[in-house]
Each structure stands twice: as structure tokens, then as C-alpha cells.
Chains A and B, each alone.
Chain A
Amino acid sequence: AQTVTQSQPEMSVQEAETVTLSCTYDTSENNYYLFWYKQPPSRQMILVIRQEAYKQQNATENRFSVNFQKAAKSFSLKISDSQLGDTAMYFCAFMKPQRAQKLVFGQGTRLTINP
């Protein structure tokens, strides 16, 4: 079974700083997908960024980028120029493709951006 581990329960940085959230996972699969979801206090689950395991290039979405290390089974999220609105819980998630569409989530990292 796949597992996802986020080793940082909480993080706090100043506005405009760069912050990196860690995620490791365990799988025997070769093809899979990885996601970062954001859950602000409003409770919505918002997709931040996604990565296909067969792609070597790291995904980027504006201020959000990932460092995907397939051999190390590591998938960290970097937030550049952090903003107050980035304050949220961040969840790393793993999904096998085809047929089984189940997401396996990590326990989350609570990120606080301080003014």
C-alpha cells in the first residue's frame, strides 16, 4: 500500500520569504501522480500543483514549484514570495493512474505566513 509522509506538522515564515514543504512517499509503482492541495481556513480543498512521475521536469505554477526526486521518492513544494493568503494547511497526495483513482493523503503541514 502507498503511504505519504509530511514530516513538518507546522511551519511559519515571514511574508515575502520562500518556504519549502517536505513530502515523501512509498510506492512500488513506476507510473503515478503527485499533488499538492491547499486547505485555507475556509475549508476548501484547492489543487495547487500536480506532477506526473514519468516527467522529469519539475512542475511550476506561478509562485509554486516542486522538487520531484523520483529515486528518493520525495516531492517538496516551494512557495516563493510568500503572501498572507498562502496561510493554510497543505496536503501532499499520491495517486495511481488508471482505474484506481484513489488519492492517498499525507497528514498535512500547517503553514502560517506572518506579516
Chain B
Amino acid sequence: DAGVIQSPRHEVTEMGQEVTLRCKPISGHDYLFWYRQTMMRGLELLIYFNNNVPIDDSGMPEDRFSAKMPNASFSTLKIQPSEPRDSAVYFCASSFGDRGVRVSQPQHFGDGTRLSIL
């Protein structure tokens, strides 16, 4: 059973370039999350979707960041223009929503994309 798939695994680009990170959630999951991990700030939730609709984007740092989920099996996180301070590991995660049944629904993470902006 395939897990959450992220691409690319590593990305190195110059400041000012557009960066697009991709994620394929686990089939059947209706929640998708984008996280950023840095040494200074730890794991931060950037945005999450439910049934392809953005629910909470309060963690998105600036207008330079945007995320889309055109269908249930694909999401992108875009940074334009990129800056050196955007360097981090970006994780995508997916889960089943809580249907009101008192069973925890853990998030399953992809392997992350290590982004380096020079």
C-alpha cells in the first residue's frame, strides 16, 4: 500500500526562482496537510485541505506561498519568488477525517522535500 508520495526529495535553487513541491496523498484520505520543518521553529502547519478545499491557511507565512489541491490525489505548494529563509524540509501528510467516532485518525507523512534556496 503506497504511502504519501512527495516530489522532489531534494530541491536546490537560486533566490527569486519559483519552486513547486508536489504531494500525492494516500488514496481515500480526505485531509491533506503541508508542514514546514526548521531547526529554529520546529514543525509548523502551513495549510490543510479537507475534500480538496483549503480549510485553514493561517500558517502560510506570506503571499509568496500558495497551495492548491485540484483533485483528491494531488496537491502542490508553490513559493514565488523564493528566498533563502524559505530553506527547510517541507512535509505533506494525509489522514481520514474523524467521522465522529471516537477513534484517533493519525496523519501519515511523506518523506519530505529538502528545499535549499541559495
By a beta-carbon cutoff of 8 Å, the part of chain A in contact with chain B is 31, 33, 35, 37, 42-47, 50-52, 54, 91, 95, 97-103, 105-108
Contact = CB atoms under 8 A, between A and B. Distances in A.
* Interface residue SS majority, chain A: loop
A91 B98 contact: no
Given A31-B102, A97-B102, A101-B98, A47 B42 contact: no
Interface of B: 31, 33, 42-43, 45, 48, 50, 56, 89, 91, 93, 95, 97-98, 100, 102-109, 111-112, 114
* Interface residue SS majority, chain B: strand
Given A43-B89, A44-B109, A44-B111, A101 B102 contact: no
Given A101-B95, A102-B48, A105-B42, A52 B107 contact: no
Contact of A97 (B91, B98, B109): B98
B106 A50 contact: yes
